[in-house]
Chain A
């Protein structure tokens, strides 16, 4: 009799369970994302890894980005990436450019309330200069510094080995001596209860999960308007977009054009496409040479001909690539300086961009003696078909898309392409060793172009085995080197800008690297939670991933009106827990009923 009643019991229990689940689900669906208020930190989606928060050794983008919020350099970057007050508010340079003097005002305090003095600066700089283990992050920035001393608690004097235009007070985070001298500075994790000078300081870090920062009440520009920042680790940007929709994070960057499009019209979400500081280029192997001037790699020897390289430049329709691959979310490339650095952007007088002109390219190649074979592919001087390898990163969908366009255009000028998309490491290694014909390259630039220029000098070429320095194209030009040296030592800002443009124009005119576009970083944020983000550049710049801390420092809660959204619905965990409880209850009932039945049917 019991056996016939069990299905009914099961059906009843199942019905109860489903009803309970649906009820709980219905309740939870009404649970809105919590609106921001003064007590809540702003939550930022974080995609990249953190190596360490030790400012002496942190090199990964995410770590150095977070450290920008914690530690001021002597000289910071303003809203337009111009040199601006940091630990020092004033500085001057001797006429010969050798002696730099920095003045620290008396109102500068660490987050623990102690005064920031010249001793902190001297400790930071000399630690890097004297200890190789502390040079991992900024060792290259102190090579030209001969001496750093404090003439009084408010004054730092730096003596350089030779004159340099880039301000030696920038980029190096100043750490509190009273905290760091008690630690093994090379091994100090600095990831908990940090003492810093920036607008926010880290309170805790959960490896691979989150980083929490709180507002620094002693920040000299004034305490931030939000209580803190929480970085939430995401391993893929699709999930972060969903997190943004559900209100788990307040802001995310690094979105793809497709993700950016998908957020169009999304409730309470604002999208932002800022001016980027990264260029995307097509690099051509002009005959790579190592530091000793010996050929390296296996680049096609035909590409040593500048006319052939120029014809390749002419066969790249940047406008179409920008419109079709990036959906227009970028600016057209010129030199390697992105548009966000207006002062250094563009060609110098006397130089101009090579226009997209397939007929012109064909004519140029005809004149240069590259005749087309029966299959429409031209032949080099040795009668070999002009077929080049094109390498891109398999992690960048845009590279494969660009390669498709290039294949078609190059075919029209009689050049074949053999496209391969490989891992970023493979691209790094092969490009360093000169094992390529063409490849997609791209770099993010800091506000000062010196580093990007230095990478293209003869001295930056690597050793034969790829070790040593990093060069962009293993290329060497005395004319470029002269322009580099001139701008490096020019202290007059206006004159230097022209010299920088000239150096980049020389590089362009060698037809080695053709900047295609400057991508706009795509960001989105919860407009119902926070507002007031400070852009860099001030007009149309980015919120996150700046050269400064303006983005989140300017953030403030969106207003009390959105707070009414919170109707006190059930917390999210109610569903799984409810489900477990209901299922457990149903399971218990079934077990009980089975016990009763088996007792009667025992063998």
Chain B
């Protein structure tokens, strides 16, 4: 009752006028973050040891001046600020530069590799969120039971296991050992499959990397959801629901869980962005042709345009997801709308 009294009579109008302001505020914050990322990304990678021109020509018989010519071609002979200005200028036209190693536009390379990364992280995220939330609310509802102990225990064990180790173990057992799943790649090399057969082939290749990612990340959703539901469990409205004669699982799924989801939403979207940036290990273990591995290769060159491009994409993913989380939270929680 108290809550209703504090909401102004013209609350609808207030929400209407504050939404664009809220949006502008959040979008502005996201844009500033992105600008900082661009600056940081450029200068941060310049401290990587190694001269790209020297590294690229090392071990080969190069004609006199070849290294210098390469440095000129790459723009490395220019002062750092000039290089930065060119980078920012090109960025506005969607040009992330040309990779030193692959000698292709970075946007093309990212275009080639981003699809597999999105497929892998998207699948893993959906399964992790579903599994984590479902187990989390169940565990909270049965707090202290064997179900609770086993599932939180297992999730925490997986959470603390090194991803590389877990991936290799799965690969060893279900790849080379039992031969149930492919040991690498996104599809069977030289396969002529098309249509549904190709989809199934990709799905087959997706299983082990997704299982690895899910095993490592679902724990955080489980724990947050569990904590959130536990908090709700002491709320008065649940007693009211029970007093109405509702079955226990309906009290949980219809009343406790929707409210407990609120704090979890932000976490889900925040971690989605981080997931994309954190695929290096899984992509390396399972030879998945994704962005994480591309960035790793860029770092070892060092291929500045490539690492900068990947860094901008990864950071943008985090920022965008953060932005969506802010918006969704506002949509889902009426208290935020009216405040």
The interface of chain A, by Cβ under 8 A from chain B, is: 3, 25, 28-29, 31, 33, 41, 43, 49, 51-52, 57, 59-60, 132, 135-137, 139-141, 143, 206-210, 212, 230-236, 238-248, 423-426, 428-430, 432, 443-444, 451, 454, 466-470, 572-573, 575-577, 580, 598, 601, 603
Contact = CB atoms under 8 A, between A and B. Distances in A.
A246 B176 contact: yes
Contacts of B250: 598, 601, 603
A210 B51 CA distance: 30
Contact of A242 (B54, B183, B244): B183
B221 interface: no
Given A230-B190, A235-B287, A429 B182 contact: no
25 contacts: A29-B179, A140-B63, A140-B66, A207-B109, A207-B289, A209-B186, A210-B190, A212-B189, A231-B189, A232-B189, A234-B184, A235-B293, A239-B171, A239-B287, A243-B175, A244-B176, A425-B300, A425-B301, A428-B55, A428-B58, A467-B68, A470-B54, A470-B62, A601-B246, A601-B250
Contacts of A33: 179
B277 to A, nearest CB: 17
B302 A470 contact: no
Given A139-B66, A575-B180, 7 more contacts: A43-B190, A209-B187, A233-B289, A234-B183, A425-B301, A429-B51, A601-B250
Given A235-B284, A469-B62, A425 B55 contact: yes
A209 B287 CA distance: 8
B146 to A, nearest CB: 15
A576 B175 contact: no
Nearest to B290: A208
Contact of A428 (B50, B178, B206, B246): B50
B49 A425 contact: yes
A231 B190 CA distance: 9
Contact of B176 (A57, A243, A580): A243
Interface in B34-89: 48-51, 53-64, 66-71
B56 to A, nearest CB: 7
Contacts of B283: 235
Nearest to B112: A207
Interface stretch (B8-16, B196-204, B308-316): B196-204
Contacts of A444: 59
A242 B101 contact: no
B63 A470 contact: no
B171 A238 contact: yes
Interface string B150-187: 00000000000000000010011001111111111111
A93 B284 CA distance: 51
B297 interface: yes
A425 B48 contact: yes
A132 B186 contact: no
Given A208-B113, A248-B183, A429-B54, A236 B300 contact: no
Contacts of B181: 572, 575-576
B72 to A, nearest CB: 10
A576 B207 contact: yes
Contacts of B66: 135, 139-140
Nearest to A187: B103
B285 interface: yes
A125 B305 CA distance: 32
Contact of B247 (A132, A207, A601): A601
Given A135-B63, A239-B286, A428-B50, A28 B180 contact: yes
Given A43-B189, A240-B184, A470-B57, A29 B300 contact: no
Nearest to A60: B101
Given A467-B71, A598-B250, A572 B182 contact: yes
Interface of B: 48-51, 53-64, 66-71, 101-104, 109, 112-113, 168, 171-172, 175-187, 189-190, 200-201, 203-204, 206-207, 244, 246-247, 250, 283-289, 293-294, 297, 300-302
Contacts of A577: 200, 203-204
Nearest to A572: B204
B179 A212 contact: no
B185 A210 contact: yes
Which of B55, B184, B247, B286 has the largest number of chain A CB atoms within 10 A?
B184
Contacts of B247: 3, 601
Contacts of A598: 250
Contacts of A207: 109, 112-113, 289
B96 to A, nearest CB: 16
A259 to B, nearest CB: 11
Contacts of A29: 178-180
A242 B172 contact: yes
A233 B185 contact: yes
Contacts of A132: 69
B40 to A, nearest CB: 21
Contact of A426 (B49, B56, B246): B49
A234 B185 CA distance: 7
Nearest to A576: B207
Contacts of B69: 132
A49 B103 CA distance: 13
A347 B157 CA distance: 58
B102 A454 contact: no
Contacts of B178: 29
B171 A576 contact: no
Given A210-B185, A470-B62, A573-B204, A239 B175 contact: yes
A212 B192 CA distance: 12
Contacts of A603: 244, 246, 250
Contacts of B190: 41, 43, 210, 212, 230
Given A49-B297, A248-B182, A467-B68, A210 B189 contact: yes
B204 A49 contact: no
Contact of B287 (A234, A575, A580): A234
A407 B186 CA distance: 45
Contacts of B53: 467
B265 to A, nearest CB: 24
A429 B50 contact: yes
A308 B294 CA distance: 45
A296 B54 CA distance: 17
B203 A576 contact: yes
A60 B168 CA distance: 28
A207 B49 CA distance: 27
